[in-house]
Each structure stands twice: as structure tokens, then as C-alpha cells.
Structure 1
Amino acid sequence: MNPNSGQDGEHGEDVLLTAEQAADILGIGASTLRAYAARGEAPSGRKIGRKRRWTLREIEHHRDHPPSANPARTGRPPGARDTRRRRPTARGSLAARRAAELAGRLADGDTVTTEQIMSTYGVTERTAQRLLKRARSSG
């Protein structure tokens, strides 16, 4: 049986396809096919050794009869991270507001230490150092 032939095997069994071959038939990427299969949105295929293979029959059936769109499943899949950069709100970022407050205290002649910032804002030492540096550079 030749998986690239596109024909049924000698004994009527279905042709086995790699993820790349199956994805090409569906018009998607191989990693997308694997993700859809893991979520149950595409045929799961069969494990042969350490490799997963799909039958030509199940891929063609999925292509010709796609699952109906589920209105409850819109947007990113569960667990996906939003990598877009966020714009600061109209009031500015929390760090900017805290740095401005610290800059005001420094301008009034107060001595502000990293330890005070850590206890006041509940931040790590590194964050406190960054806030103090930002306050000193803006004031």
C-alpha cells in the first residue's frame, strides 16, 4: 500500500495519511490538524508506533461534512494566551501612577527606600527598585 497513491490498498483497507498529507487535503496546517484532533474538532486518527495516521476516508468525510459551527466556541481556544500589547488606560498604567506618587514624595524631600515601597505596594524588591528608578528619573 502506497500512502501517496491516493488509492485504496489491495485488500480494501483505507490509505493512511501523515498529518501533513491530511492537513493538505483539509487546507490547514499539520499543527492545526493535530490541535483540532486533540480538541475533538477533527478526526483523531490512529497511532501507529509513535506516529499518528489518518485514513483518507475519514479526512475526506471531515472535509465534505465539517462539524457545524458551535456558537459557544468563539474566539481563542481555552488556554490560549493573548499576546497583543495593551494600551494604557486613560489614567495611565498602575506603575506610572505609583511612580508619579513616589516622585511627588521625593520632590517634597521625603526619603523613600526600596523596603518602604515593598511594604506599601506589596511588590517584589526588583519591582520596588524599578519604581524608585522611574520616580527619580521623572522628578
Structure 2
Amino acid sequence: MIPHGHPVMTEADIAEATGLELHTWRRRHGADFRARVPVTNPGDRLRLYDAAQARAYIEGRAIPARAETDPHPEDLLSVDEVAALLGTDASTVRAYAATGYLPQGIERHGRRWWPRHQAQARVDAGDQRHHPERTGAGRKPGDPRNQAPRGRQPRTNARVLEVAAALAQAETEGQDVTADDLAHRYGVSRRTGERLLAAARETRAKQ
């Protein structure tokens, strides 16, 4: 999380502020810096540091204690934090953002973040996704009412386009969309998720 009103710096930002290349800064100062300045996001591969503490280290000043903050609507949440809030996983959050079920978020430090209020609004709104398998519940196979109206594409085609968009978004972030993600998103079986994924990949190949 990036707390509202408390900017953070990456190691690349810190190296740039000292006028050094990142690899040089890490070799000369990395170990000492990490021993004195704690990361704000333990466990994440992208280390983030409180900017006030980092700048105090750079300037040779005493490192202040990090300010305690209460949750704020403008806090920026990572994809994993949004996933935890929504009760899903990171790749599903990316698919939500790619298809408009969730805003696309904000780019910071080479990552995508979501203001807390956007994620909370999604939680408060409840699950409003369309679940096609619920349509026509109780109807027997072959019932004409189960067929898509003439002049309209079957809903599956619309889902394939959504998944294709999600694949494109995930690729730009070096991520992936899996059959399990799609099964969870659309409330279908994993096998149906595999079919959607295959069809979306074929659609992308033709674009």
C-alpha cells in the first residue's frame, strides 16, 4: 500500500537521488540502507520505502519514525491487496480491470495501484457480474427460450472478447490469465474456463 499523503521511493528512485546507477548504489549502500530503513511492503519483490525516511538517510540525517496512518479512501492498494479485499486473486483483479468490472487503476513505480475507495466501492456494490448459466434456470435442454435472440451474438462470444482484452492487459504487465481465473470470474466450470481461454487466444491471434 502507498498511504495517502506519504509518498514512497523505490531503490531506483533512491539511487537516482544520489546520482548513482542502481547497481552501483546497491553495491555501495544497499546493505547498510536496508539495515537502517525498513520497507513499507514486506514480502513484495518491488521494495518500497517511506520517502521521508529514505531522504533522511541520503542526507545523513537521523531517520525519523514512520508516521502511523489510518485507512484513507485515497490510499493506493496493490493488486494483491485489492485481491484480498475482493476475496479473489491477483490475475482475476487484472481481468476485472481489463473488462471494466473494476477501474483500470493508477500507474506508479512501474506497477498498477487502485485507490482504496475504488476497491471498496466494488465490494459495496456486490457481485453484479452476469452469470449466463443462471439464465433459464430450470428450463430443459432444447427449450427455445435458451437460444440467443436473432440478430444478437451469443453471450459466449461477448465473453470471449472480454477474455481476449484481459489477456492483452495481462501481457502488458507480464502476467497471465488462467482457466481457473475465468471459472471464478464467470461462475462456470474449469473446463468451460479452458474453452473460453482457448477461444480468446484464437481471437487474439486473428486480430
| Greater Cα radius of gyration, structure 1 or 2 | 1
TM-score bracket for the superposition, by shorter chain length:
0.3 to 0.5
Q: Would you tell me which structure has more helix in proportion to its own residues?
A: 2
TM, length-normalised to structure 1: 0.45
